[in-house]
Structure 1
Amino acid sequence: MENLSHFCSCTDLACPLHPAKHGKGCAPCIQKNLRLKEIPNCFSDLAEGLTDRSGDSFTEFANGVLQEHK
């Protein structure tokens, strides 16, 4: 786990892009999310309303955040 950024909060250790699996930090995950126009899981973990989301799209993230703050 020495490759983790000091702020990394990702708990998806099964993900091949998790920083613990390589020496590139969060960059591969962020690159994948930018390419797919998705939000990284660590962002979604910050909001309680996103625990049962069906995907990582911008829309899914925005709807979850809005639900949490109603």
Structure 2
Amino acid sequence: MSNTDFCTCKNYSCTFHPRNHDKGCDLCIRICLHDGALPSCFFRDVSKELRDVTAIDDSSYEAFAKLVLKKKEDESH
């Protein structure tokens, strides 16, 4: 598997995108953790609506938790 086979991020201009270096997801994860955020692939995995979006506006832990809880609530109805 190449560095880009797994990545679902659509922001190809990002310096940390695996298409732009040979370090896989490591650089993206490092910068996200430093910023108190999660990589967009987490959000894309939970939300079908976000799969084609270029940038996630709020990638905080809180936004992710809210998205997971909303998905869970939606699935229970």
Please give the alpha-carbon distance, in whole angstroms, between the structure 1 residues aligned to 2:8 and 2:48: 17
Name the counterpart of 1:60.
Answer: 63
Q: Which 4+ runs in 1 deviate beyond 3 A?
A: none
Q: Which runs of 5+ in 2 are unaligned?
A: none
**Is the CA contact (8 Å cut-off) linking 2:4 and 2:19 kept in structure 1?**
no
Aligned residues: 69
Q: Give identity over the alignment, percent.
A: 30
**Structure (1/2) with the larger helix percentage:** 2
RMSD of the TM alignment (CA)? 2.5
For the Cα contact (< 8 Å) 1:47–1:65, is it kept in 2? yes
* Unaligned ranges ≥5, structure 1: none
Higher mean C-alpha displacement, 2-11 vs 60-69: 2-11
TM-score (norm 1): 0.78
The CA deviation at 1:6 is 5.0
What's the TM-score once normalised by structure 2's chain length?
A: 0.72
